[in-house]
Chain A
Amino acid sequence: MKRALALAALSGALFCTQALARDQISIVGSSTVYPFATVVAEQFGKTTPFKTPTIESTGSGGGLKLFCAGVGIKHPDITNASRRIKSSEVERCAKNGVEEIVEVKVGFDGIVLANSRKAPRANLSLRQVFLALAKQVPDPKGGDKLVPNPYKKWSDVDPSLPDIEIEVMGPPPTSGTRDAFVELAMEGGCKSFDFIEKMKQSKGKRYKAICHGVREDGAYIEAGENDNLIVQKLDANPDAFGIFGYSFLEQNANLVQGSLIDGTTPEFENISDQSYPVSRALYFYVKKAHVGTIPGLKEFLAEFTRDRAWGPDGYLADKGLIPLIDADRKQFAQDVKNLSDLML
């Protein structure tokens, strides 16, 4: 009897949903964009008659997968990404009927290599970062041969660096921050070796394996996705370095300091004008077919691309987002207004 009732309740519930429409914007995607998108969503919910959008933190790849699954209230309206959409993803979208996508570049996020304030600030080149963290490095004795990373101390990498063990805590391979760090910092240093640079054309796969391979002998410690944890560990261990996003550095400036990379400090201005080498652009993608059917979508886009949100003095900058330069912001705001299609 009870079971029959429960089944009846369940099937009843299933039928109701068919009639339900969604009156709330649904956003998925990158955990790096999440802290910024949520601020806009909250502001939007407070200042407009629309409901506050829901934002899921699924990662860039997971978000694009959900986003491209189809058109309709079942599928999200916006996906955040800490990298640009790939052509394979655009094709996947098109196959499922998501043909018109609006791309919005939100701003930049710097990735910092930081250590405790109890230790002196480090000044590293991309090449040194690569040598310290890569799985395979060019033979220190010379020649175009690769050997498993022999460096145990920073001073082994370069005598000018401090005489402490290499110990770097960073995100695991599933993280977008790790992808970006590997692509920007490691590959940047890797390319500085001419013989490896030459491989890029002829042996692309091998090149990628060399430049993107992070050592697994304990010098690089996968510290999970929680950047707060890395900050706490750095505070406890002044000899260690950590890799995380700029906003965590800004919030914990009394505990940790960002190392100079190629002579540039990870500061607001340097990331904004792209002189700091380890920074990446953040994006979000909008399903054009949903504009007009989901209430408030257009207004949400307007809120996001307003200067009081993403401008240099906006509330997103206060949360650690590095804004685009004025011309780019104007361009993207215009694109959003006209709902211009994505062009790869």
Chain B
Amino acid sequence: MNASSNPKPSPDGPRRVDVHTSQAMKLRLARRHAADRRFRAFGIAAIAIALIALLSLFISITSRGYTAFVQTRIALDITYDAEILGIGEEANAQDLAVADYRALIRKSMQALFPDVRERRERRDLLRIVSSGAEFELRAQLLEDPSLIGQTRRVWLTADDDVDMLIKGYIDRNAPETERRLGDRQIAWIEYLEEAERIDTFFNTTFFIAGDSREPELAGIRSAATGSLLTLLVTLLLSFPIGVATAVYLEEFAPTNKLTDLIEVNINNLAAVPSIIFGLLGLAVFINFFSLPRSAPLVGGLVLTLMTLPTIIIAGRAALKSVPPSIREAALGMGASKMQTVTHHVLPLALPGMLTGAVIGMAQALGESAPLLMIGMVAFIVDVPGGFFDPSTALPVQIFLWADSPERAFLERTSAAIMVLLAFLIAMNALAIVLRQRFEKRW
């Protein structure tokens, strides 16, 4: 406005130059460019905040959890003495299974620390080794009964308190009342360290064992198997049902009030809190159909209900993105409606549907709230062998460990979170790969 009231003479044509080079215009342009840069800076800042949040999450979990992937072990010279085991020379598997393996450890410890005599001290000494160590010896002997009579150096799992000390979570110089290990126990451990009888190994137990109340014996296998079985049920049910629903609604259903109502309801279902599905599962599957509690089948059914809307919505979007010309061409060549869908539309839409299904599955994998109602928040040691065996799931295992008093469970919680995140990232990567490789663009 200023420019027109303040005309400047110019040889090339006064008005044009006036509009584009005037002082006011320059100012306006600078303002617009600044606004542009600001807008971009906001965008970058938003991404930076998200990245920092994500990074700090990863760093805090990894820094807390990585130590759980190693486990302290103690080397003891174990003599598989039939007499101490309390079995005869001709022992069968039955005898070996119930023999007194704790006595072997006791004996070996006594040989190592001959000056520990008092009963209470001996017990403290024995506590350095995990209560699961005797079962390790049992497994060894059951596998190879010829070991009887021989002496071997065996690396036995250390107690979680010892593990924490070796990993530096317990301050050795703190007053005795402030730590779970006594002064004498620390002296014994230091002796073992000098004798190079204490070392850390890769924690295989964490991957091959079920849950345990002893942190050093706890593993994620039963929870991971439970998650796998649950997801299998979810996938087998929700994918076919979801695809069929999406195809019918998109390709066959007439547009009327009823289909509108169904559509609105499906969209609403996608926003229902997951705990509601758990309550529904409890009422319908357990109380009405009397399916067993804590079973992966019920978990899968509940998660099916939860993921169905996601899969239906993604499926419909995939079908919508197939150009109408494909359908028209097929129909024009004389194909029936069903042939058009199954031969042309569905194969083209399938990559999009699969992506939706994978994302739905990832959602289901991370879910713990609905499982609470159907009894899957439980202490499960045995690895579930079928769809009816009691089982739990990975997120539930994380929840249960996070609530345990033992210090060593803290790092195991973080380690389990890392495993869960790895699965989720793998599934999302799979979704991306599927989309990249098979999706057609028009």
Contacts and interface: CB of A to CB of B under 8 A. Distances in A.
B402 interface: yes
Given A17-B388, A52-B382, A54-B379, 6 more contacts: A3-B241, A20-B388, A52-B380, A57-B378, A117-B178, A254-B170
Contacts of B237: 6, 9-10
A52 B400 CA distance: 17
B254 to A, nearest CB: 20
A255 B291 CA distance: 46
A251 B236 contact: no
Given A2-B240, A3-B244, A54 B213 contact: no
Interface stretch (B6-14, B26-34, B404-412): B404-412
A304 B214 CA distance: 17
Contact of A45 (B170, B290, B381): B381
A56 B294 contact: yes
Interface in B373-394: 375, 377-382, 387-388, 390
A42 interface: yes
Interface string B209-243: 00011100000000000000000000011001101
Contact of B294 (A5, A9, A38, A54): A54
B131 A254 contact: no
Interface string A13-36: 110111010101010100100110
B171 interface: yes
Which 10 pairs show the lowest CB-CB distances between chains A and B? Answer: A2-B240, A52-B381, A55-B379, A254-B178, A56-B378, A54-B390, A38-B379, A251-B405, A39-B213, A247-B405
B291 A42 contact: no
Nearest to B408: A251
A228 B292 contact: no
A252 interface: yes
Interface stretch (A181-189, A197-205, A288-296, A312-320): A312-320
A9 B238 CA distance: 13
Given A41-B381, A313-B123, A17 B290 contact: yes
A251 B407 contact: yes
A313 B237 CA distance: 51
A6 B213 contact: no
B357 interface: no
Contacts of B320: none
A156 interface: no
Nearest to B134: A46
Contact of B290 (A51, A74, A226): A74
B405 A228 contact: yes
B178 A253 contact: yes
Contacts of A46: 135
A42 B213 contact: yes
Given A14-B289, A17-B388, A24-B390, A31 B403 contact: yes
B171 A319 contact: no
Contacts of B406: 251
Give the size category of A's interface with B: 35 or more
Contacts of B403: 31, 225-228
A248 interface: yes
A299 to B, nearest CB: 14
B343 interface: no
B380 A20 contact: no
Interface string B56-90: 00000000000000000000000000000000000
A117 B171 CA distance: 14
A102 to B, nearest CB: 22
SS class, residues of chain B in contact with chain A: loop
A317 to B, nearest CB: 12
Give the size category of B's interface with A: 35 or more
Given A3-B241, A6-B241, A56 B377 contact: yes
B255 interface: no
B177 interface: yes
Interface of B: 123, 131, 135, 170-171, 174, 177-180, 212-214, 236-237, 240-241, 243-244, 289-294, 297, 301, 375, 377-382, 387-388, 390, 400, 402-407, 410
Contacts of A55: 378-379
A26 B179 contact: no
B402 A226 contact: yes
A312 B19 CA distance: 94
B408 to A, nearest CB: 9
Contact of B297 (A13, A35, A51, A57): A13
Interface string A296-326: 0000000000000000010100011000000
Contacts of B400: 57
Contacts of B178: 117, 253-254
Contacts of B382: 45, 51-52
Contact of B243 (A2, A227, A245): A2
A74 B286 CA distance: 9
Contact of A253 (B180, B293, B390): B180
Contact of A13 (B213, B387, B390, B405): B387
A34 B379 contact: yes
Nearest to A5: B240
A41 B378 CA distance: 12
A74 B213 CA distance: 26
B179 A20 contact: no
Contacts of B289: 14, 17
A35 B301 CA distance: 29
Contacts of A248: 405
Given A251-B407, A253-B177, A2 B381 contact: no
Given A3-B240, A52-B382, A54-B380, A35 B375 contact: no
Nearest to A75: B293
A170 to B, nearest CB: 16
Most buried by B among A14, A39, A46: A46
Most buried by B among A6, A13, A54, A319: A54
A253 B181 CA distance: 11
A254 B378 contact: no
A74 B42 CA distance: 57
A315 B292 contact: no
A308 B30 CA distance: 82
Contacts of B381: 41-42, 45, 52
Contacts of B214: 42
Contact of A6 (B240, B293, B407): B240
B405 A315 contact: no
Interface string A192-236: 000000000000000000000000000000000111100000000
